[in-house]
Chains A and B, each alone.
Chain A
């Protein structure tokens, strides 16, 4: 093998990588948070909306769950400027993440809404809850509890999927690894470090999510 590992060069860039990891974290966190709001709104529209709202919501979900997120990212990246909307690559990717997460979460939420006991919904109905109050006090907590584990898993998948942002010049972890690689050509060392940081990030995220689940939603999730 002609390639000799030289860790020193790669490690010099560790703070730069960690900075990239931070970008990955806030990008996915904000994107997923927006996705949660989009997802629950879409699911409520699908279940309780007027026929027009139901149809619109269905088209959105079908489109985003059946298109590679790389393709929708290109769509947003090159499509929005055509409408005079000029956004930074970071914002484009954030929107793409939010819309993709929203569609996948809508599917999860819809089944969650349909699994709320009718007796609970009837009790809320006759006590005078509005639709919004039912969502707030009955549906959302129910979803949070029963769907917390699959939603957590989805979040982990989105952390990993956010690497595609590098293609659009967003300097998150993968993007920065790519930058350093093209300067130093220490590919194996650099991507080993990047991969390790990804593993640590997803472990930390799983652990944090399990803790939140256990104490906030009374979900008996495994920590690992």
Chain B
């Protein structure tokens, strides 16, 4: 079943400077999609449109068969209810402990019972290897640890679609695999994943499909094997060979 559909999407941060140009794609429920492409190609921008931080200037976003009306706060809210996002930069609440960071939205926004939320929060933090850090504050954690808290926080919302924007790019090398392992576990749980990553081996391993972007446009969409070994476009082949050499 198609869970998410983007049709002819244009988006810009400042008028007349389009960042995304005519992006269209379809994502099935439970699918794992990776978006790759050079820096500045608009990967983060797509995710920002999907969570409503940026409103499209043209085109449609359709979630579970319903077109999102970006002008309607309630439509945005119900779209966000299905999604969670982990950003490239750390975006934890600095004034809250690790546990509180993970609990706050389910508890205060979704009004779920505290005992249940706390148990779930602790479980996810333990999966992320942060069992000892419940009471720490973000400024007492390494970047890698903060990013894992952010992952646990996103999971605690029990999203249908999880958006991961270069979540491993700030991690210590030995932590990368631990987080990638956690994402692998997620990938078997039927949750739809949209992953922006420069970890090409990982992308190739976990993705059902890979989207190659360049300069705000979708260059190519295909299975990992198609993209990594038999790309149709020269641009995609160049990018892959460049990245693999580095």
Contact = CB atoms under 8 A, between A and B. Distances in A.
Interface of A: 117, 119-120, 122-129, 133, 137-138, 141-142, 144-145, 218
Contact of A125 (B53, B95, B110): B53
11 contacts: A123-B91, A126-B53, A126-B80, A126-B84, A127-B84, A127-B104, A127-B109, A129-B105, A133-B109, A142-B95, A144-B95
Interface of B: 51-53, 77, 80-81, 83-85, 87, 89-96, 104-105, 108-110, 137, 157
A40 to B, nearest CB: 15
A218 B137 contact: yes
Given A119-B90, A138-B93, A218-B137, A126 B83 contact: yes
A126 B105 CA distance: 10
A120 B91 contact: yes
Contact of A137 (B83, B89, B90, B104): B104
B109 A128 contact: yes
Contact of B81 (A119, A128, A137, A142): A128
A119 to B, nearest CB: 4
A37 to B, nearest CB: 20
A208 B104 CA distance: 30
A129 B166 CA distance: 24
Nearest to B106: A127
Contact of B93 (A123, A128, A144): A123
Secondary structure class of chain B's binding surface, majority of residues: loop
A133 B108 CA distance: 9
Contact of A119 (B87, B105, B110): B87
Contacts, number: 56
Nearest to A144: B95
Contacts of B90: 119
A126 B137 contact: no
B161 to A, nearest CB: 12
Contact of A128 (B77, B89, B92, B95): B77
A122 B80 CA distance: 12
A127 B95 contact: no
Given A125-B53, A133-B109, A142-B94, 11 more contacts: A120-B92, A120-B94, A126-B83, A126-B85, A127-B109, A127-B157, A128-B80, A129-B105, A129-B109, A144-B95, A145-B95
B87 A123 contact: yes
Given A127-B80, A128-B77, A137-B108, A122 B94 contact: no
The CB with the most chain B CB atoms within 10 A, among A119, A128, A129, A141, is that of A128
A121 to B, nearest CB: 9
A129 B84 CA distance: 13
A64 B110 CA distance: 40
Nearest to A122: B53
Given A125-B53, A129-B109, A133-B109, A117 B94 contact: yes
Contacts of B93: 120, 123-124, 137-138
B159 to A, nearest CB: 10
B53 A128 contact: no
A124 B104 CA distance: 10
Most B CB within 10 A of own CB, among A119, A129, A133, A144: A119
Nearest to A119: B91
B43 to A, nearest CB: 16
A151 to B, nearest CB: 16
A29 to B, nearest CB: 25
A122 B84 CA distance: 12
B45 to A, nearest CB: 13
B140 to A, nearest CB: 10
Nearest to A141: B95
B95 A122 contact: no
A119 B52 contact: no
A114 to B, nearest CB: 16
